[in-house]
Amino acid sequence: METIDRMDTAGVAGAQWKGVYRVGGIAAIVMAVFIPLQLTVFVIWPPPATVAGWFALFQQSAIIGLLNMDLLLIVDQVLLILMFLALYFALRDSSRSFMTIAVVLGIGGALIYFASTSAFEMLTLSGRFAAAMTEEEKSIILAAGEVMLVNWQGTAFNISYVMAGIGLLITAIVMVRSSVFGKATAYIGLALGIMSLLPPTAGMVGVMFALGSLLPLEVWDILVGRRLLQMAGK
């Protein structure tokens, strides 16, 4: 009788989080959709190499400029928070302590990332640059743009990138020990977590790791999203 009561309690507890699983699953799928979209933007409109080039791009198309300055990645951080929350509740019974650490790192990394974004600041500066009447004004705005570009992939970006990578790696380790997600999902997550420990700003090796992580990230997002939606439907 006690065993049955425990099963009923577990079932009720699981049902309470169906909405979280559904939202987290949708978030993961949307993140997977964003990856090829972002790559397409980079291929068709390569990021400019200078501040003046960025200002010109924003004047040509504000949307393309924002997308080139990782607008989708900004949205991704919100989606990442939702996914990490869903993963916490899905895996907490396997290791509550490790998943607490993982979700704090993952969500903390996403929140720190917002401090590094400069997309809308650059959009504003590009408008001021276009309206500047003197060379002195333009020089000042160009200098401000340089600061924005340095901040864009500076300390906050690197810290957030590594924090999210560690959170992902811990989550994958818990997945290996759990039966909630398949082993393929867990091992792809392990590879992805390891590749996410080195930010793309760390020279050519960092760039190679970042590019190499895109395929496993795409697959992992789809697998995680599908599983979370399955759990939401039970």
170-173 contacts: CB < 8 A, separation 24 or more? 170/98, 170/99, 170/101, 170/102, 170/105, 171/84, 171/87, 171/91, 171/99, 171/102, 171/106, 173/98
pLDDT of residue 233: 86
Residue 72 has pLDDT above 60, yes or no: yes
pLDDT of residue 128: 94
The verdict on residue 9 lying in a domain is yes
pLDDT of residue 14: 57
Average pLDDT of the segment spanning 94-110: 95
The verdict on residue 63 lying in a domain is no
Q: Can you give the pTM of this predicted structure?
A: 0.87
Domain count, the chain: 1
Domain residue limits at 166 = 2-50+84-116+154-233
The verdict on residue 224 lying in a domain is yes
The verdict on residue 127 lying in a domain is no
The verdict on residue 186 lying in a domain is yes
The verdict on residue 72 lying in a domain is no
Q: Which two tokens stand for residue 102?
A: 């993982």
Backbone angles phi, psi at 21, to 5 degrees: -60, -40
CA–CA dist 95, 174 (Å, integer): 7
The verdict on residue 133 lying in a domain is no
pLDDT in tens, 183-223: 999 999 999 999 999 999 988 999 999 989 999 999 999 99
The verdict on residue 167 lying in a domain is yes
CA–CA dist 170, 94 (Å, integer): 12
* Residues whose CB falls within 8 Å of the CB of residue 217, separated by 6 or more in sequence, listed in order: 35, 192
